[in-house]
Amino acid sequence: MQLLDLFDHSLLARHDRVALEVPDDTGALSTVTFGELETRSNRMARLLAARGMRTGDRLAFLLPNGAAFIDCFLACVKLGVIVVPVNVLYREREIAHILDDASPVAVVTTPTLATSLPSGSVAWEIEAMWRDAAVLDATRMTRALDGECPALIVYTSGTTGRSKGAVLTHNNCMANVLSLVTCWQITSADRYLAVLPLFHVHGLGNGVLTWLATGCRMRLLERFDAAHIAEDFRDFAPKLCFGVPTMYVRLLEVPETNARAIGAHMRLFVCGSAALPAHVLAAFSARFGHTILERYGMSETLMNLGNPYAGERRPGSVGLPFPGVAIRIVDGARHDVPDGTIGELWVRGPNVFRGYWRRPDADAEAFVAATDAPGRAAWFRTGDLAERAGDGYVSLRGRRTDLIISGGFNIYPREIEEVLLERPGIREAAVVGVADERRGELPVAYVVADDDASVAALDADCRSLLASFKVPRAFVRVEALPRTALGKVQKHLLPPWPCP
Ligand code: MCA
Ligand code: AMP
């Protein structure tokens, strides 16, 4: 079985129903039926095949949210071409690593985004692809695929500063879709407002895949824009929306009467990618009349746990495992801890990825062989710290590594520190996350520098080298970094920011 088998319930069986609505540059909406998605992606698949793409080849997507992303994605699903989504906010340095590592045949992109590509990249311009595909045969072109074939390689920020590609198979994606559709009762009658970027698992693996599997109607926005989001809710009257905590914080700014009207047609708000503060959950419930359903996932595993659809959605908890997901919470000696004790969360299930792309060293660190029964899949160490209550609800309690999550985007301090240390006059650097009401956390850098001028240059340097969300909000010059006797930086002893 492959993903297409799930999508055929929509692409073939509901071919005359509107699948997608997307605003164009002027704000006017165009609609696409499932039947049109089928023929457009068939043509695109023929174009990819004519350009020599074989099953198992990689194709990188540096594309904004839009119909073109969907057509190309479906074409790849049909051919067994592995999609490598790339964050459109990334700069050349960040993209170069992904392209080096995944070695895609080409990068599908737009003229504007192509300016961020490293020189020598093979860029396929999407509009030109469209023109070339339009004259090709619209009948279906597929290749027989096994469920274990990779569908996606998703790059996750690496603890070492070098991001790793998580290989997600068709089976992983199908397991995730079936869990979400069942647990959140998503049907063809839903109307899904898609506001998340499609280059991450949240928008793609949860949003696009459940939409295609259920045949509901999706309005796809280029991005979440707090200034206009209330209008989209009003016009489209969605029933379903997925978001990160920052989006829910921004939605609290919607005037009370509009919020009530939005709440009246909505069926389910889901939140994930970062912790949803309990006070935001409460304020949202008071304003919109809905208790947000918080869930927990990772690029490597898609969704692991979630609060129940029918049942208590507990503030501060990520709920219970999705069907087929087994969890363990273990101490440093790898023994299960009793309920109510914090340990590292391990998961196993049909959703858990196959491994990191060409990184057996990272696999060896991430997976622990199962000892409970011969032949059982290994446990994946999430790196997240968690605690299980006596009734099974799990709450996350931080991370083993010092990940910063800002607006739902992950930032590994080490990557920024490496950039800072390459700058002239910077001798030492430490980056930490500071609390921010709106974005959850913001990165702040502490540096030991030769002079003030070196520090003053850092903001512009970081802006040219790093995605905007990774650029430290402040660069604080210190005499020395606090270190242990063994030389390890003690980030918790850095002076608080803003400095007095
Ligand atoms: C943010 N910016 C963007 C986008 N998002 N630019 C273009 N396209 C985007 N999609 C830039 C803005 O240009 C601006 O840059 C800065 O980010 C802040 O934008 P602002 O309008 O002030 O936004 P905000 O109100 O703070 O909201 C930001 C946001 C964004 C819309 C919530 O952070 C976002 O889309 N987050 C979603 C991330 C996500 O999908 N995470 C899932 C990964 P400048 O500062 O230069 O002006 S985790 C995952 O997938 C796992 C599996 C899971 O569990 O879900
Ligand atoms: P990524 O690998 O980029 O997909 O990010 C996954 C990480 O996001 C997880 O390991 C968690 O640390 C974090 N995360 C996802 N959902 C939640 C949530 N509901 N609460 C807290 N952290 C979350």
Q: Which of 296, 327, 470 to mutate to test the pocket of ligand 2 (most atoms within 8 A of CB)?
A: 296
Instruction: Report how far residue 380's alpha carbon sits from residue 125's, in angstroms, rounded to the nearest whole number.
Output: 38
Which atom belonging to ligand 2 lies closest to the Cα atom of 383? Answer: 10
Q: What percent of the chain has pLDDT over 70?
A: 99
CA of 162 to the centre of ligand 1 (A): 21
| φ, ψ for residue 131, nearest 5 deg | -60, -45
Burial class, 426, CB count within 10 angstroms (exposed 0-12 / middle 13-18 / buried 19+): buried
- Ligand 1 atom 3 nearest Cα: 89
Tell me if the bond preceding 443 is cis, omega within 30° of 0: no
Res 399: pLDDT: 85
- Ligand 2 centroid distance, CA of 273 (Å): 4
- What are the pocket residues of ligand 2 if the criterion is a CB atom closer than 6 Å to any ligand atom? 156, 201, 272-275, 294, 296-299, 318, 382, 384, 396, 399, 410
Do residues 45 and 141 make contact, with C-beta atoms less than 8 angstroms apart?
Answer: yes
Separation between Cα atoms, residue 39 and residue 75, nearest integer Å: 10
What does the pLDDT read at residue 161?
59
Token representation of residue 138: 């619209």
Q: Quick one: pLDDT at residue 456?
A: 97
Write the CB contacts of 99 (distance below 8 Å, at least 6 apart in sequence). Answer: 60, 107, 117, 118, 121
Question: How much is the CA Rg of the chain, to the nearest whole Å?
Answer: 23
Segment 30-41 shows an average pLDDT of: 98
Burial class from Cβ neighbours inside 10 Å (0-12, 13-18, 19+) for residue 460 reads: exposed
Residues across the chain: 500
Closest CA to 94 of 354, 385, 409, 339: 409
CA distance 343 to 377: 21
Q: Is 221 helix (H, G, I), strand (E, B) or coil?
A: coil
**Which pLDDT tens digit goes with each residue over 153-177?**
999 976 565 789 999 999 999 999 9
Q: What is the pLDDT of residues 51-63, one digit of tens each?
A: 999 999 999 999 9
Out of 167, 242, 273, 470, mutate this one to test ligand 2's pocket (max ligand atoms within 8 Å of CB): namely: 273
CA 472 to centroid of ligand 2, rounded, Å: 21
Residue 292 alpha carbon to ligand 1 centre in Å? 20
CA-proximal residue: ligand 1, atom 9 (nearest): 223
Predicted pLDDT at 499: 62
Mean pLDDT for the chain overall: 96
Summarised one tens digit per residue, pLDDT across range 86-135 is 999 999 999 999 999 999 999 999 999 999 999 999 999 999 999 999 99
Calculate the CA 286 to chain-centre distance.
28
d(CA 314, CA 294): 8
Predicted pLDDT at 16: 97
Report the pLDDT value the prediction gives residue 378, as an integer from 0 to 100.
Answer: 95
In this structure, the residues whose C-beta lies within 6 A of any atom of ligand 1 are 88-89, 196-197, 200-203, 223-224, 226, 244, 246-247, 250, 272-273, 297-299, 407-409, 438-439, 468-469
**pLDDT above 90 as % of the chain:** 92
- Among all bound ligands, the one having the nearest atom to the CA of 196 is 1
Beta strands in 17-172 (DSSP E): 18-23, 29-33, 58-62, 82-85, 106-109, 123-125, 150-156, 164-169
Digit-coded pLDDT (tens) for 269-296: 999 999 999 999 999 999 999 999 999 9
pLDDT interval class at 142 (50, 70, 90):
confident
- What are the DSSP calls for 168-200, one per residue? EEHHHHHHHHHHHHHHTT--TT-EEEE-S-TTS
Ligand 1 atom 21: residue of nearest CA: 225
CA-nearest residue for atom 5, ligand 1, is 223
Q: Which pLDDT does position 154 carry in this prediction?
A: 98
DSSP 99-123: HHHH--SEEEE-HHHHTTSPTT--E
pLDDT digits (tens, 9 = 90+) for 223-270: 999 999 999 999 999 999 999 999 999 999 999 999 999 999 999 999
Q: Of the bound ligands, which one is closest to the alpha carbon of residue 275? A: 2
Hey, whose CA ends up nearest to atom 22 of ligand 2?
274
What per-residue confidence (pLDDT) applies to 392? 98
What pLDDT, on a 0 to 100 scale, did the predictor assign at position 109?
98
What's the pLDDT at 159? 59
All structural domains of the chain: 3-223 (3.40.50.980), 296-398 (2.30.38.10), 403-493 (3.30.300.30)
What pLDDT is recorded for position 381? 96
DSSP characters for 384-404? EEEEE-TTS-EEEEEESS--E
Please tell me which residue, 305 or 374, carries the higher pLDDT value.
305
What is the whole-number distance in angstroms between the Cα of residue 274 and the centre of ligand 2? 5
